[in-house]
Structure 1
Amino acid sequence: MDINDNLDSPLVIKVGFNKLLNQYQNLIEADNDFIAANARRVLKIAEENPVLRDGFNDLTLLDKYAKEIAGILQDSFSPILTKNEIKTASVPFQDVVFNTSERFKSILKTAGDDFELEIKNMPKDQRYIIACTIILNFCYGYNLNFKRPFFYEIPDANGIMRYYKILYNADFTEIVPKENAPKITKEDYDELIDNFENIELWKEKFPPNSYEFKGFVISNIFDVTDDQSISNIKSSLIGEDKRKDESFMQGFYEIFRSLFGFKNLEVGFSIYNEEENTFERVYGVGMNSFLLNQAESLSCEDALCEWSYSRLIKENSYFSVSDVDRMYKLSKGQAPHIKVLYEQGFKSAIFAPIANDDGLMGILEIVSKEPQALNSINANKLVDVMPFIVSAVERSKNEEENLIEAIIQKECTSIHSSVHWRFEQEARNYIKTEFNTGESPTFRKITFDDVYPLFGQIDVKGSSNARNEATQKDLALQLTLAEKILDKSLEEKSLPIYEQIKFQVAEFNKNLNENFKVDSEHAITVFLRDEVKPVFHLIAKTQASVKEDIDDYFSKVDTDLDVIYYYRKHYDDTVKLINTNMSSLLDEKQVEAQQMYPHFFERFKTDGVEHNMYIGESITKQDSFSMIYLYNLRLWQLQVMCEMENEYYHNQHAYPIALDVASMVLVFNQPLSIRFRMDEKRFDVDGTYNARYEVVKKRVDKALIKGTEERITEKGKLTIVYSQKEDEEEYVRYIKFLQSKHVLDTDLEILELEDLQGVTGLKALRASILYHDENDDKNFYTYNDLMETIKL
């Protein structure tokens, strides 16, 4: 079998001992007779077996000349040290070893017959290039340092993976160019060092089999399991989202098993919550806490005894339990941490605090079902590991805090993506100023000038009346039930106080139907809670015949509000659903709108959904804004308002009660400035002139058509409020276009509005919305579509 078979390499390899034998040649004339005699012994072996000096590529000769090779290498492989040293003679960068020490043979035997020796971190696709760099060093004198630590991973008798570092001694190797080898110039070298991964270039400069390698290397091998385990722990803890990786904890177990040297071992974690003085579970795939067992969290006093509590939390020192069964008997099952280990079948354990200068962050729990396997002696192995675990937990806590902040930002005080760059820019300035001056700077005002506003809302029509009606129904139902109970009670026991309360109930019921006022709800609620409720409790105790009716009454009463909350709940749930569903649709459609051109967007839930949009060059940070993007967004907004109405009315049957909605858009044709208000954590218009826009937004949906008592917003119609003639002309074009697409009906109205406080001259366009089957095509039309239609 040829050693070079299936080997893609610039080197033709021969195993030979010429260079080693040359050194023995020099030792023949040594002053020391023993050294000279030994040299003659080695050289005699070579003379009798010239193939050992000439070199060979037939692997079978390694076995044939095994005794002779051992004789030549006797000085390098001392018989005295052979059971201690881990050493081999081998072919470099290949898994061909020979003349191994007894210690190495023993390691391989323990690994099993099916174990195949392999250099683990030698990339096969780089072996060709590594061979080329060796040629550059040997033949051309370049000092290319490509030394990397190489390892064997070999299991021991317990199946624990042990790590062995390989150090090569290449003193006895020779590399000679063959006739077909191109000579490497300085220009070649300069090109090669900048193209390490260009295998084709390396093969051009160093063709396959163009150099002859003769010799062997001595591999000095060291057990570095502890160091490698620590390194592996460090590597495992670096990286993102380890909690979601199913194999992470299993790999973590294996690393700790290698560190401690036995298989029967598991690792767990618990987090320390200082504010509540509790231990809490770490959430992640395969992550356990053996201290908590099945509990989500436990107070520290319930999880630890007084001594262990002081040891971990106050002293931040580790402790071990080498024999759980013995400690369980001694403590009579009263020590919580011993009891929980005992119940899970663990026999020994180490608890180590994960702590930094700020105090305890969590507990590392190492457990085993083997008694005395974990103890105070091997617990010291954690000294080198804990700094990496502490760093990982610190990073994890920071990431969690950042994630919490991000969720709060998203759900509570979100900064829209279109303007996030500006806040980021200001935050960097803040950090830079603080670093340079050492003082706490002020977060500068964030404004965007010359932006065009768009405002729209879909609102529950007659929401106040609808809620009042629901309130009246709830109160009337409760008063009627109360009156029936009092009637029944009075038939059996006539008491003046019952008569008086019944009279009040009847009066409230009468006024509820004839004269319901804003404060009526509060007055009736207080009466039912403070006067009716105590009396009913008394009746239930003294009149058994009425108790069932009273129980039925209280079963209908909301325990938190002390009133029947049935029709109002239907109303509130409906409004909540409208808000949720319309907001979701608007958010979904906003993704499309942002793709047209980035702009600021925010929405609010009221008795419906309102949205603000601002578009302009100052927001995009790019010199790319054109009015065409504004026209597109205005047309998009009209289409979305119509689609939201379609969505609502198509699914109205799924809502608890049937409410009507009305849609409105406010047009403001002048650019304005917006400013982020730090105190309110939201954007608002900037400047006195621009404030008119905010005034109109707040009041316009309550505006009346001039000369009438009719609200400008109407169910089934899209209302567009504006003030300038050019706005009217622009939006009439949009409306006619949407009419041609059967989005709006043909009943276009142009209306004047009654003057609002401080605002005059407003007008409105109003057109009915066409409701289509859900399966209709809902593509959005652009301003270009509009222009094409006008041309036709």
Structure 2
Amino acid sequence: MSNSHSHRQQVSDESTFRDRDTMTNQANSGNNKWLARFQHHSKLLMAWVEPGNFTLYYANDTFCRLTGINAPTGSLQNQGIHLFDLFTNVDAKTLEQLYRRHLLALILRDVYKINHTQWRFLDEPVIATLDNPHGGEPHCVQFWLRSQHLNVERINPEINEFSDIDLSKQPIQQIILNPTWEERLNLDNYQVRGQLLWEGLDVTHQEMIRQLISLLIERDSLLRSEKFRLFEQKMRSLFRADQILLLRVKHQEVKLFTSKDDQIIQTQVYSWDSLEGSHFQEAAQGNQVWRVANLESDFHTEFEQTLFNQGARSLLLIPLTVSSAEAETPSQNLMGMVGLTSDQTHNFDSLDINHACALSPALTAALRQAAQSQFNPIHPAVEWRFLEEAERRSWGLPPEPIVFTDVHPMYGISDIRGSSSERNRSIQADLLSQFNLAMAVVDGANQYQQLPLLQQLRLDLSAYIKQLEKGVMAEAEVTAIQYLRDHLEIYFDYFQDCGDGAVEAVRAYKQACDNPHGCVYTARDRYDRMIYEINEQLRQTWERWQIRMQQIIPHYCDHELTDGIDHMIYAGASINSHFTLFHLHCLRYEQLRAICDCARTCFHIRDRFDNPLQVTHLVLVQETTVDIFHDEQTEKIFDLRSSTRDTRYEIVKKRIDKALDTNTQTRITQPGMLTIVYSTQAEWTEYQQYLRYLAREGWVDSHIEYSTVEKLQGITGLKFARVRILPEFEPAQV
């Protein structure tokens, strides 16, 4: 503000100190009750600042709290804090331009005696961003300058910036809307008396809602990673939530999507009937934002039990509906739902409900758009065709099917062997541990006072333990824990008065269950960590190789994580016009190398766990091409066209990892080995060459096992070759 520096030096000291003394006396006077209310109780941010340099002189509690300034009495004299020091997007230049506009109005009023009661530009607000002194999202403050009580005098009357213009004959709108008039001002020639009032209003929530609406109605899909990351971040901040849930309802089927690593993933599929009595159906039937204050005491379905076990303690549900003409379900025209979870009970309040209602139309539009892309980000290699079709439809042209013909399929899988059995064993171990802890509680209480009910409870627990020792299925995970909650834990208050033995047993039980799942979760936690570790490392390994493979030639690739990772590749000239036979062979060889690297990744994980899960690896070969198309009635990006060859390929792909060796009746896949399934001699000749190259590079051993695959649902003639994948430190025996 170099132009105003000398002006500030010329402000009358006597007038300034007199004004300051007056305001200080007012601030310290107990008789001015209005000032106390201004200081302590106003929701507005208010401050008195020096005209021209915007040095803070006085501020109320709200201003100090949001800016992190320590000023118990509101006085900021001699601290040298400027307004533009506090905001990240409002600098000295911006404030000076705003101040010049106000000063122009004052000069017109006090010097030229031109007054106007409708100078709306003086009420034009500015949005400023203020860093949060306590961390978290920054605050958005809408502020105004109040200059009506300032007085302006010209120091040297001989200096007149507007001497060449008769201001009295100029249209007032032309003066105030033309920025050149403000630029004419010589600030050094004016003396400003009084204090400038700065008023602000915290509009963080309103601004965040505005940004969310703007984000949601953008044309590109909500499920693009960067857009979804921003959406999730702003939603969690606005609602103080831990997780975002997206539910898509179609044909009486409910698909649940959550987020992980800024990506949206499908986690579960439920039937609509399985949610009978749930809060989700309550929200849908009422067609209104639904708040669940305490999920622990108020859940009715397995789905809600799962959310509770994952740490959710309160919910906010936003149903998204379509018009009756568009309705596809009988459930109140429900298209889907956005859910927010918190690990705190009573987290969501009426203000959150208001925010959710404001966002509901934009969320509906975004979910509709996301549904059109079937909750799957469109792969870059085929995106051009989807954009082309979207452009056609935007011009009102009839839809055309999105088809890629004569593409070469490449399917592979790294499968965790016996994961379901291992999961059941971990459930069994945890339940036995918890039931034994429960037995200790009952025994402790029995030692204090033998009662028939306690003895019967002990017999029930003993019978449960014997049953658990024989083995468990997944459904026992819910029923057994619920039994303990209904028949043991409800008596803990009584057991606390049953002697030291019972007290200690209750303490041990509670300590073992002190986790987000609310039960003993030691073995399952180990299992979950192993599965997550294997899946995550496999994903990272595969995605690294995919980057290299896309550099060979752009192609479509989709991978899915369940108990391991499986991938599906389609490559051909209909996807990329530069595709050649050389590109195909390069991709096939790179696929094998990537699978081998996935196996080595599993070797590293195996070495870190005492009892690791085993992983098998398979590649399915098919020389003949297939046609793929996008079916808008399903949630898959691509389906195969219904031809004999394509149907055969789909059947084989779904069943091959569990197929048996015709001769030995053992699985064709074995841990640590690469299995290649093929049909023709030409396919084997090509892949035999690849195996020789892999052995030369040290990926696999040179010894190859051969056999045939047992008949699969009417499909015969499949053969397989199997070879051991080598650790990095073991050289191949070529």
Shorter-chain TM-score range: 0.5 to 0.7
Secondary structure of residue in 2 paired with 1:745? strand
State the match for 2:224 in structure 1.
406
Residue 694 of structure 1 and its aligned partner are, at CA, apart by 1.8
Residue 619 of structure 1 and its aligned partner are, at CA, apart by 0.4
State the match for 1:493 in structure 2.
449
Residue 653 of structure 1 and its aligned partner are, at CA, apart by 4.0
Deviation per residue, 1:520-573 (Å, 9 max, x gap): 444433322322222344322444541122122122125554431111111112
Say yes or no: does 1:768 pair with 2:609.
no
Q: 1:549 to 1:442 in 2, by over 3 A?
A: farther
> Whole-Å Cα distance in 2 between the matches of residues 700 and 636 of structure 1?
21
**Which of 580, 605, 614 is 1:660 aligned to?**
614
**Which of 172, 189, 196 is 1:373 aligned to?**
196
Any conservation in 1 of the 2:146–2:196 contact (CA below 8 Å)? no
Secondary structure of residue in 2 paired with 1:757? coil
> Whole-Å Cα distance in 2 between the matches of residues 260 and 574 of structure 1?
63
State the match for 1:505 in structure 2.
461
Deviation per residue, 1:206-229 (Å, 9 max, x gap): xxxxxxxxxxxxxxxxxxxxxxxx
Say yes or no: does 1:647 pair with 2:601.
yes
Deviation per residue, 1:628-658 (Å, 9 max, x gap): 2111111111111111111221243445862
> Whole-Å Cα distance in 1 between the matches of residues 518 and 133 of structure 2?
42
- Structure 1 letter corresponding to 2:595: M
- Structure 2 letter corresponding to 1:257: E
Say yes or no: does 1:258 pair with 2:97.
yes
State the match for 2:40 in structure 1.
none
- Structure 2 letter corresponding to 1:563: C
State the match for 1:685 in structure 2.
640
Say yes or no: does 1:594 pair with 2:550.
yes
Any conservation in 2 of the 1:528–1:563 contact (CA below 8 Å)? no
Report the TM-score when normalising by structure 2: 0.53
Residue 374 of structure 1 and its aligned partner are, at CA, apart by 4.9
Secondary structure of residue in 1 paired with 2:685? helix
> Whole-Å Cα distance in 1 between the matches of residues 381 and 472 of structure 2?
48
Q: 1:731 to 1:249 in 2, by over 3 A?
A: same
Deviates more, 1:570-579 or 1:738-747: 738-747
Say yes or no: does 1:672 pair with 2:490.
no
Which ranges in structure 2 are unaligned for 5 or more consecutive residues?
Answer: 9-50, 55-84, 104-125, 150-192, 201-206, 229-261, 265-375
Secondary structure of residue in 2 paired with 1:747? strand
Secondary structure of residue in 2 paired with 1:494? coil
Residue 593 of structure 1 and its aligned partner are, at CA, apart by 0.7
Which ranges in structure 1 are unaligned for 5 or more consecutive residues?
Answer: 1-106, 113-156, 161-245, 265-280, 304-311, 313-317, 325-369, 380-388, 434-440, 778-788
Any conservation in 1 of the 2:442–2:502 contact (CA below 8 Å)? no
Alignment of 1:213-224 (within 5 A): none
Q: 1:480 to 1:251 in 2, by over 3 A?
A: closer
> Whole-Å Cα distance in 2 between the matches of residues 537 and 631 of structure 1?
70
> Whole-Å Cα distance in 2 between the matches of residues 159 and 498 of structure 1?
79
> Whole-Å Cα distance in 2 between the matches of residues 532 and 296 of structure 1?
42
Q: 1:600 to 1:520 in 2, by over 3 A?
A: same
**Which of 680, 683, 686 is 1:724 aligned to?**
680
Any conservation in 1 of the 2:534–2:605 contact (CA below 8 Å)? no
- Structure 2 letter corresponding to 1:739: A
Q: 1:488 to 1:395 in 2, by over 3 A?
A: closer
Secondary structure of residue in 2 paired with 1:748? strand
> Whole-Å Cα distance in 2 between the matches of residues 539 and 710 of structure 1?
54
Residue 687 of structure 1 and its aligned partner are, at CA, apart by 1.7
Any conservation in 2 of the 1:460–1:660 contact (CA below 8 Å)? yes
Q: 1:397 to 1:691 in 2, by over 3 A?
A: same
Q: Which has the larger radius of gyration?
A: 1
Q: 1:298 to 1:733 in 2, by over 3 A?
A: closer
Residue 288 of structure 1 and its aligned partner are, at CA, apart by 2.5
- For the aligned residues, what is the CA RMSD? 4.3
- Structure 2 letter corresponding to 1:532: L
State the match for 1:47 in structure 2.
none
Residue 111 of structure 1 and its aligned partner are, at CA, apart by 10
Deviation per residue, 1:128-161 (Å, 9 max, x gap): xxxxxxxxxxxxxxxxxxxxxxxxxxxxx9689x
State the match for 2:592 in structure 1.
638
- Structure 2 letter corresponding to 1:373: L
Residue 720 of structure 1 and its aligned partner are, at CA, apart by 1.0
> Whole-Å Cα distance in 2 between the matches of residues 395 and 534 of structure 1?
46
> Whole-Å Cα distance in 2 between the matches of residues 375 and 509 of structure 1?
71
Alignment of 1:542-561 (within 5 A): 542-557=498-513, 561=517
Q: 1:721 to 1:371 in 2, by over 3 A?
A: farther
**Which of 390, 396, 412 is 1:456 aligned to?**
412
Alignment of 1:356-505 (within 5 A): 372-374=195-197, 404-407=222-225, 411-412=263-264, 413-433=376-396, 443-505=399-461
Q: 1:371 to 1:489 in 2, by over 3 A?
A: farther
Residue 398 of structure 1 and its aligned partner are, at CA, apart by 7.7
Residue 432 of structure 1 and its aligned partner are, at CA, apart by 1.9
Deviation per residue, 1:6-63 (Å, 9 max, x gap): xxxxxxxxxxxxxxxxxxxxxxxxxxxxxxxxxxxxxxxxxxxxxxxxxxxxxxxxxx
Q: 1:474 to 1:757 in 2, by over 3 A?
A: same
State the match for 1:351 in structure 2.
none
Residue 744 of structure 1 and its aligned partner are, at CA, apart by 0.9
Any conservation in 2 of the 1:571–1:656 contact (CA below 8 Å)? no
Say yes or no: does 1:618 pair with 2:574.
yes
Any conservation in 2 of the 1:159–1:263 contact (CA below 8 Å)? no
State the match for 1:739 in structure 2.
695
Say yes or no: does 1:288 pair with 2:244.
no
> Whole-Å Cα distance in 2 between the matches of residues 394 and 664 of structure 1?
44
State the match for 2:278 in structure 1.
none
> Whole-Å Cα distance in 1 between the matches of residues 263 and 462 of structure 2?
47
Any conservation in 2 of the 1:571–1:657 contact (CA below 8 Å)? no
State the match for 1:530 in structure 2.
486
Alignment of 1:307-346 (within 5 A): none
State the match for 1:565 in structure 2.
521
Alignment of 1:773-792 (within 5 A): 773=729
> Whole-Å Cα distance in 1 between the matches of residues 415 and 482 of structure 2?
31
Any conservation in 2 of the 1:574–1:656 contact (CA below 8 Å)? no
